[in-house]
């Protein structure tokens, strides 16, 4: 069966949320800043973000579980994380109620004098099953947003899981795609990746031209020099300007830091 376009859109947005989630949680403990570049775990090791991740499940250096923050340094990041997590958990509850089969019943004491039926433990503990929150248990929410996004992506793409799930109805799938897209936008905005243009305070290290940084939703950040072809920077020309993108930004950052150190040494 072919996955509807809404399912593909939802899967793409959910994957983007998962990839950015560690950065958002780390941003909660980092003071807000207006400078560029946007917060991005791919740049760690080159740009100092001042991130001190908490122990627990991680991808690389990034935390995955949202914890309590009695004194967050970035309230906007915390609000975004709480709102997105709540939206994803509620969405998983709604979809599980619509497409997930209840736990089967089985004989608990088949050889006893009095037969007793109860939940089939193996079926109840199926790793693919979404567990609801209860007064005595957080259910699948205990695994954080990352697992919720993985589970929702599986339902969006109608991944096989025996008879545990029925196909997701079209209206619910559309709702899933809408909620996932809004959640992705919220995460990207909190991380400064929602599409903006920033004039950097530092000039081009090679020609002293003005550097303009750009971000776009779902795309790589970039920096361009205003000088044009006359700029001697070791970067590709794009529409008549030297342009750095993705991994090429590493060389630009290193050159900018070196130029700044030279200026500080000459002023000393």
Q: What ranges do the domains of the chain cover?
A: 5-101+131-190, 196-267
Instruction: State the pTM of this model.
Output: 0.69
Q: Which residues contact 42 (CB under 8 A, 6 or more apart)?
A: none
Helix axes 5-27, 144-156, angle to 10 degrees: 170
Q: SS3 helix, strand, coil % of the chain, rounded to 5?
A: 45, 15, 40
Give the pLDDT score at 178.
97
Write down the pLDDT at residue 129.
Answer: 97
What's residue 35's pLDDT? 53
What are the average pLDDT values for consecutive 10-residue runs of the chain, which has 268 residues? Answer: 89 94 89 61 36 39 61 87 96 97 81 68 92 94 94 96 95 97 93 82 93 79 92 93 89 90 86
């Amino acid at each position: 069966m072919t996955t509807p376009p809404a399912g593909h859109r939802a899967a793409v947005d959910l994957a983007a949320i998962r990839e950015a989630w560690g950065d958002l949680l780390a941003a909660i403990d980092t003071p807000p800043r207006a400078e560029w570049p946007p917060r991005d775990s791919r740049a760690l090791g080159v740009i100092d973000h001042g991130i001190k991740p908490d122990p627990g499940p991680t991808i690389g250096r990034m935390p995955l579980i949202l914890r309590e923050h009695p004194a967050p340094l970035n309230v906007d990041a915390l609000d975004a994380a709480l709102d997105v997590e709540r939206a994803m958990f509620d969405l998983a509850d709604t979809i599980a109620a619509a497409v997930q089969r209840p736990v089967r019943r089985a004989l608990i004491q088949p050889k006893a004098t009095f037969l007793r039926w109860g939940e089939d433990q193996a079926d109840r503990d199926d790793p693919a099953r979404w567990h609801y929150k209860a007064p005595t248990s957080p259910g699948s929410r205990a695994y954080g947003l990352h697992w919720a996004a993985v589970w929702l992506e599986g339902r969006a793409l109608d991944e096989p899981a025996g008879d545990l799930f029925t196909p997701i109805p079209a209206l619910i799938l559309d709702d899933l795609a809408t909620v996932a897209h809004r959640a992705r936008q919220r995460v990207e905005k909190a991380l400064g990746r929602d599409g903006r243009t920033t004039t950097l305070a530092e000039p081009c290290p090679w020609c002293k031209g003005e550097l303009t940084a750009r971000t776009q939703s779902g795309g790589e950040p970039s920096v361009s020099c205003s000088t044009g072809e006359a700029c001697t920077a070791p970067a590709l020309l794009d529409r008549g300007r030297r342009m750095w993108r993705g991994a090429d930004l590493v060389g630009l950052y290193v050159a900018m830091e070196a130029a700044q150190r030279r200026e500080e040494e000459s002023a000393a």
